[in-house]
C-alpha cells in the first residue's frame, strides 16, 4: 500500500496484518457474572500494511496499548498473526511451517525493551550471545568463542566479560548484550522494541548511537518501536503513527514532525515536553481529552473520534483508510484530501476525503 | 541563616546514608537548598543520584535501618522536621506536606474504595465527620477533573485508568491544602498525551493554591516547562543549581551540559547524538576526586585527585566543578564572583 522512497522492492512487506486476542477463555466467568457468553476480542493489530525498505529505519510510535509491540512481535511470529501476510524476500512468514520459519529467523531478530527480563540470569554472557550460533549451527567451540568476543567488542563491551552473569551489568550494558545476541546470526532486519525506554538519559544516547553505527556497518534495516517521539524523530527515516491497532499516519520523519496532518499526530507531538524553557513558556499545547479507549470494544468508524477535536458525525461511521494525501505522506482521515490537506482550513462539517476513502475501500474488497 | 524569610523550606547540609553489604552508601551527601512559597523546584538526576532519597528524607520516610539521616536540617516553616517527635511529623506529612509518587498503580490500596482512601486523609488531619469527608472527596475529584465524580467516588482503584489514578492521587495529596507538594516522577508511568494532561493539572492547581512544589524527574523537557529553579544531582551531590531559564541557557557544569546535549532535539536535523560515556557511578564505590570525572570530557588530573568546589557563578547559579567558571563562560555566561 505504501510507496517507496525509491523504486526498489521492499525488504519486508506487511499486508493487512491482524492480530486478535480472543478473551473468551473466561466464558464460564461471563456466564456466571454477566448472564451469558460475550464474544470479547482484543484487536491489538487490526489491518496494518507497511513496506520497509532495505537499509532504512522505520519508526513506529504510539501510546501504550496501541498495538505497536504486538505488531513487532507478529512480524517475527513471536505472537501468531490472525490473518494477513508478512512478506520477506518473497516468502510469507505468516504462513511458513515451523521449520522453515526457524531458518528465516536467522535473518530477522529482535531487541527487547527490558534488559533485565530478556537475559537469562543463569547463563553467562558468553552463553547468551553464543546460543544463536549454536542453534543455527554457525560456529562451535573455539570459533564460537572467538565470534562472541568479536560481537562483544562490536557493541562496546570488553571481551573479559564473557564469563560473567547478567546481574553484574548495568541496564545500558545489558542492552548492549541483547544487541550482541541479536547480531550473532548476522540478521538483515531487526525489530527494536522500545530499546531505550528502560535506560537512564545519558545511556539512551549511547544506545541510539550504537544502533546507528551498527546499521551503517552491517547494512541493517530497523523497525524502531517507541513511545518517545524525540528518539523516533532522531533515528528513523520514516515514521508510522499507530492508534488502537491501526496506522493513522506515515511519512518521512522530518515531514511528519514538522507538518503532521492527523489531529492525533499533532496532539502527540505537542504533548512532548521540549527541553527549552523559552519554547515551553510560549507554545500552545493541544491537550487531548480523555484516555485511549479500550481495544476490546474500540470506537466505531475512526477510532480516534472520541478524542478528536475535529470529529464530525461521519467520523463515527466511516472507517478511514490510510491514503496518500501529499506525496509519500499518508494519513487516515476522511476530513482531509489531497486538495485540502490541512484540517484546520477545511470547512466545518465537511469531509473532503470521504469520496477517496470510499473508492479505496471498494478497491480493497 | 534559618527561620522564615519568605522561605517555606530550607534544607541545610542534608546527609542520608544507607548501610549495605557493599559498605556505606552515601545516597544524599550534603545537600542544601531553599524553596520559596509558591515556587516550583525541579530536581533532575539519573538513577541512583539521590533525588528520591532527598525527598523521602524531607518527610522522614527513610526506612531505618538500613537508612539513616546522618546530619543536616530540614526547616519547614521555621521548624526543623528532623528534630520533631514522630507524631508531630505525622501531623505535617500528608497534610502540610503532601506527596505524589511515580506509580499510581501501587500507591493506592486496591481493596479500598477511592472514597474511603480520600476520606481517611481529611478525617485524620482536618477532623472531618464522615459526611463532610465524603462531600470533600467528591469536591476534590471534581477539582482534578474526574468526570462524574459523584458516581466514581465509590469505585475501586482498578476501575480507573492510569491517568485517572494519578488524578486520584493528586486529589488525595491536595485534600488538606498542603503548603508543599512533593511529586516524585509523577508522570513517568504515563503516556505522553496523559502526561501533558497531568502536568497541566499540577500547574493549574499550583497557581490557584500557591502551593510550593518539588518536582523530581529525569525528563529535562518536563523540568523546562514546569519549574522556576532546578537542581541537578549526581552521586548524591548537587552538581548544579540555578534558575531554570539560566540553567538551560548557560549551563555551568559539564554534566548538565552533557545531559542537555544528549537529548535528541526534534526541531533540528542532527547527525550523531552527543553521548556521555560510561555509566552512572556505583555510589558505594565512588572514585576519589570528582565523582563525574571518569565520564567527563573536560576532566584533568586535579578532577581525579581532589573533590571539586561548589562555585558561585552568579548569585543564583552554583556549580560543583573545578572548572565551573570556564564551563560557564564557554556557555556564554559572565561569572560575577570569580572565587574558586
A296 to chain B, any CB pair closer than 8 A? The answer is: no
Q: What is the mean pLDDT of chain B?
A: 89
* 8 Å CB contact of A276 and B47: no
> What is the per-residue pLDDT across A137-168, written as a single tens digit (0 to 9) for each?
898 889 999 999 999 999 999 888 999 999 98
CB contact under 8 Å between B273 and A280, yes or no, is: no
pLDDT digits (tens, 9 = 90+) for A274-310: 888 888 888 888 878 777 888 888 899 999 999 999 9
Give A-chain residues touching B223 at CB under 8 angstroms. 275
B112 vs A355: CA distance, rounded Å: 52
Task: List the single range of A35-39, B27-31, B194-198, B320-324 with lowest mean pLDDT.
Answer: A35-39
Residues of chain B contacting A208 with CB distance shorter than 8 Å: 264, 273
pLDDT for B116? 94
Phi, psi dihedrals of residue A218, rounded to the nearest 5°: -110, 10
Q: For an interface test with B, give the residue of A171, A173, A201, A260 to mutate (most B CBs within 10 A).
A: A201
To the nearest whole angstrom, how far is the Cα of B222 from the nearest Cα of chain A? 6
Query: Shortest CA distance to B149 belongs to which of B161, B164, B138, B163?
Result: B138
Q: What is the mean pLDDT of chain A?
A: 90
Q: Inter-chain contact B192–A63, Cβ cutoff 8 Å?
A: yes
Contacts with A248 from chain B: Cβ below 8 Å: none
Enumerate the residues of chain B whose CB falls inside 8 A of the CB of residue A266.
Answer: none
Which residue of B lies nearest to A278 if distances are taken between CA atoms?
B245
Nearest chain B CA: its distance from A92 CA (Å): 34
The residue of B224, B255, B268 whose CB has the most chain A CBs within 10 angstroms, and thus the best one to mutate to test that interface, is B224
Is a pLDDT exceeding 70 seen at residue A85?
yes
- pLDDT single digits (tens) A307-356: 999 999 999 999 999 999 999 999 999 999 999 999 999 999 999 999 99
| Percent with pLDDT over 90 in chain A | 68
In angstroms and rounded to an integer, the radius of gyration of the C-alpha atoms of chain B is: 21
> Which member of B196, B219, B223 has the closest CB to residue A287?
B196
pTM: 0.87
- Cβ contact A250:A319 at 8 Å: no
Residues of chain B positioned with their CB less than 8 A from the CB of A203: 279-280
What percentage of chain B carries pLDDT values higher than 90?
A: 59
| Contact criterion met (CB < 8 Å) for B164 and A291 | yes
- pLDDT at site B2: 40
Whether chain B has a CB inside 8 Å of the CB on A272: the answer is yes
- Chain B contact probe: residue of A173, A196, A197, A200 with most B CBs at under 10 A: A200
Amino acid at each position: 500500500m505504501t510507496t517507496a522512497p525509491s523504486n526498489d522492492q521492499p525488504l519486508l512487506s506487511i499486508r493487512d496484518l491482524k492480530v486478535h486476542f480472543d478473551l473468551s477463555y473466561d466464558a464460564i466467568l461471563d456466564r456466571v457474572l454477566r448472564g451469558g457468553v460475550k464474544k470479547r476480542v482484543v484487536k491489538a493489530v487490526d489491518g496494518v500494511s507497511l513496506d520497509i525498505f532495505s537499509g532504512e529505519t522505520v519508526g513506529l510510535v504510539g501510546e501504550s496499548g496501541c498495538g505497536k509491540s504486538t505488531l513487532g512481535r507478529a512480524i517475527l511470529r513471536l505472537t501468531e498473526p490472525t490473518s494477513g501476510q508478512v512478506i520477506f524476500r518473497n516468502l510469507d512468514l505468516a504462513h511458513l511451517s515451523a521449520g522453515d520459519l526457524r531458518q528465516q529467523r536467522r535473518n530477522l531478530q529482535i531487541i527487547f525493551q527490558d534488559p533485565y527480563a530478556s537475559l537469562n540470569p543463569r547463563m553467562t554472557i558468553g552463553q547468551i550471545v553464543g546460543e544463536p550460533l549454536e542453534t543455527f549451527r554457525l560456529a562451535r567451540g573455539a570459533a564460537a568463542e572467538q565470534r562472541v568476543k568479536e560481537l562483544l567488542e562490536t557493541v562496546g563491551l570488553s571481551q573479559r566479560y564473557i564469563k560473567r552473569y547478567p546481574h553484574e551489568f548495568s541496564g545500558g550494558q545489558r542492552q548492549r548484550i541483547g544487541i550482541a545476541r541479536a547480531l550473532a546470526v548476522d540478521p538483515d532486519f531487526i525489530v527494536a522494541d522500545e530499546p531505550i525506554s528502560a535506560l537512564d538519559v545519558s545511556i539512551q544516547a549511547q544506545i541510539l548511537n550504537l544502533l546507528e553505527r551498527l546499521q551503517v556497518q552491517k547494512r541493517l534495516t530497523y523497525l524502531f518501536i517507541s513511545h518517545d517521539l524525540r528518539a523516533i524523530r532522531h533515528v528513523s527515516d520514516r515514521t508510522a503513527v499507530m492508534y488502537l491497532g491501526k496506522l493513522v499516519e506515515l511519512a518521512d520523519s522530518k515531514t511528519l514532525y514538522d507538518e503532521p496532518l492527523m489531529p492525533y499526530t499533532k496532539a502527540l507531538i505537542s504533548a512532548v515536553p521540549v527541553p527549552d524553557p523559552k519554547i515551553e513558556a510560549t507554545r500552545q499545547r493541544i491537550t487531548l481529552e480523555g484516555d485511549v479507549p479500550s481495544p476490546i470494544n474500540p470506537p466505531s468508524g475512526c477510532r480516534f473520534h472520541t478524542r478528536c477535536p475535529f470529529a464530525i458525525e461521519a467520523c463515527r461511521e466511516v472507517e478511514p483508510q490510510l491514503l496518500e494525501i501529499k506525496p509519500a505522506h499518508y494519513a487516515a482521515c476522511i476530513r482531509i484530501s489531497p486538495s485540502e490537506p490541512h484540517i484546520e482550513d477545511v470547512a466545518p462539517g465537511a469531509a473532503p476525503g470521504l469520496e477517496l476513502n470510499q473508492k479505496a475501500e471498494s478497491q480493497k474488497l | 541563616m534559618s527561620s522564615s524569610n519568605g522561605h517555606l523550606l530550607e534544607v541545610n547540609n542534608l546527609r542520608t546514608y544507607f548501610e549495605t553489604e557493599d559498605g556505606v552508601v552515601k545516597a544524599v551527601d550534603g545537600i542544601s537548598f531553599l524553596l520559596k512559597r509558591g515556587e516550583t523546584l525541579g530536581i533532575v538526576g539519573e538513577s541512583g543520584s539521590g533525588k528520591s532519597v532527598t525527598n523521602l528524607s524531607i518527610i522522614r520516610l527513610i526506612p531505618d535501618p538500613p537508612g539513616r539521616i546522618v546530619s543536616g536540617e530540614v526547616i519547614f516553616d521555621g521548624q526543623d522536621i528532623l528534630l520533631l517527635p514522630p507524631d508531630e511529623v505525622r501531623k505535617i506529612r500528608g497534610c502540610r506536606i503532601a506527596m505524589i509518587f511515580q506509580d499510581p498503580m501501587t500507591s493506592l490500596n486496591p481493596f479500598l474504595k477511592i472514597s474511603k482512601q480520600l476520606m481517611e486523609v481529611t478525617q485524620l488531619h482536618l477532623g472531618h465527620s464522615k459526611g463532610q469527608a465524603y462531600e470533600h472527596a467528591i469536591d476534590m475529584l471534581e477539582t482534578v477533573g474526574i468526570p462524574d465524580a459523584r458516581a466514581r467516588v465509590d469505585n475501586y482503584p482498578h476501575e480507573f485508568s492510569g491517568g485517572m489514578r494519578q488524578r486520584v492521587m493528586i486529589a488525595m495529596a491536595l485534600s488538606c491544602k498542603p503548603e508543599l507538594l512533593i511529586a516524585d516522577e509523577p508522570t513517568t508511568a504515563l503516556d505522553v498525551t496523559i502526561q501533558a494532561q497531568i502536568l497541566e493539572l499540577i500547574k493549574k492547581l499550583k497557581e490557584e493554591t500557591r502551593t510550593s512544589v518539588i518536582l523530581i524527574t529525569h525528563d529535562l523537557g518536563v523540568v523546562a516547562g514546569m519549574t522556576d529553579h532546578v537542581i541537578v544531582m549526581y552521586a548524591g551531590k548537587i552538581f548544579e543549581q540555578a534558575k531554570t531559564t539560566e540553567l538551560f541557557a548557560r549551563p555551568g557544569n559539564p554534566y548538565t551540559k552533557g545531559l542537555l546535549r544528549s537529548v535528541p532535539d526534534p526541531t533540528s536535523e542532527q547527525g550523531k547524538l552527543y553521548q556521555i560515556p560510561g555509566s552512572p557511578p556505583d555510589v558505594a564505590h565512588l572514585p576519589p576526586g570528582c565523582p563525574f570525572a571518569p565520564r567527563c570530557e573536560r576532566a584533568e588530573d586535579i578532577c581525579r585527585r581532589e573533590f571539586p568546589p561548589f562555585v558561585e557563578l552568579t548569585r543564583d547559579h552554583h556549580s560543583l566543578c573545578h572548572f565551573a567558571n570556564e564551563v560557564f563562560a564557554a556557555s556564554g555566561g559572565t561569572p560575577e564572583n570569580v572565587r574558586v
